[in-house]
Amino acid sequence: MADDVLIIKEVAALLKLAEKTVYAMAQAGEIPAFKIRGPWRIKRTELDQWIDAQPRGGVSGGGNDDGC
């Protein structure tokens, strides 16, 4: 059960992002996070749901994004 709540460092490693980036995302409300006496925490189940809800890259109808 102790692994159900992650710290910024663990989330950064899972997402392959810098800790500063994850911290900024938490502050901005971009990822499901909460604070306990200062440090940010993220529930693993909520992080997994958030990851699943993110748009996927790939081919989307062809064409360029250069305005032409």
Question: Given this model, what pLDDT does residue 60 score?
Answer: 55
For residue 57, what pLDDT is reported? 82
Domains of the chain: 2-53 (1.10.10)
pLDDT above 70 for 2: no
**pLDDT for res 3:** 65
Q: What is the pLDDT of residues 10-55, one digit of tens each?
A: 999 999 999 999 999 999 999 999 998 999 999 999 999 999 999 9
Chain centre distance of CA 58: 19
Backbone angles phi, psi at 40, to 5 degrees: -75, 145
pLDDT given for residue 56 in this prediction: 87
Single pTM value for the model? 0.75
